[in-house]
Amino acid sequence: MSGTLSLPRIMGHRGAAASAPENTLAGIRKAAAFGASWVEFDVKLTADRIPVLMHDDSLQRTTGDGRPAADVSLAEMKRLDAGSWFAADFAGETVPTLKETLVLLLELGMAANIEIKPSPGEDAETVTRTIAVLEQVWPGSASTSTPAPLMSSFSLESLKTLQEQSPNLPRGYLIEELPEDWQAVAERLGCATIHHYAKAVTAAQVAETKAAGYGLAVYTVNDPDQARELIDWGIDCLITDAPDVIARAIA
């Protein structure tokens, strides 16, 4: 799963979250239909320790089930509707497993930014289980032109576990507010990319990050004017709910 990393200019956020329910196979297909070559999505564990695509600790917002994801088995989760909350057209869409998602990405020829989004106390195990699925499904770099997944997280424990267990996979350090010691942390964890929050990043921080030699992604960019400004500042990658709109804006 090793390989070089080259960030795309546009990356679909949780698939194409402005046009399809987030973190679903329908959302990934929509991103592909919009021409995105990369998608970002979140991974956490079910009660029976299966990696699935889910952002929130609770299932409430996207399935209507108020239980924590960590307390629900995969079989139970698969009975939930993860599409109707977004639009009636997506009724019956299920929470996909990471394995199902990777198989679809390979079929579509798409690359992935997998955000490790652990439930409380599961920072290391979420990484271990995710890597196990990647090793089972994702081919070696010689077998595909699709690059190995970029693994990102806000969790420093998750990034450390990634570094220890799968050092060849590129890692991205997710940041909301840039801390003073960001570069020391990124160096210690061997990160290849920094992922800034679009509402907090400044031109000076972009210049600082780029000068230090890191690939730079910014989330979540849905406004065309902001997208153009960030590109002017030197951003490498715009992570967006609307890859179709933002691609047109910066064309």
What residues are labeled active site? 13, 55
Neighbours of 72 (CB within 10 A): 22
The partner residues of 217 in beta bridges, in order of sequence, read 195, 237
Question: Among candidates 191, 154, 152, 155, which has minimal Cα distance to 176?
Answer: 154
The partner residues of 162 in beta bridges, in order of sequence, read none
CA 75 – CA 46 distance, rounded (Å): 10
Q: Are 150 and 4 in contact (CB under 8 A)?
A: no
- Side-chain-side CA neighbours of residue 249 (13 Å): 21
Q: Are 70 and 86 in contact (CB under 8 A)?
A: no
CA 218 – CA 230 distance, rounded (Å): 8
Burial of 62 (0-12, 13-18, 19+ CB in 10 A): buried
Sign of the dihedral defined by the CA atoms of residues 184, 187, 189, 191, in that order: positive
Token representation of residue 175: 């940041």
What are the b/e assignments for 145-164, b being 16+ CB within 10 Å?
A: ebbbbbbbbbbebbbbbbbe
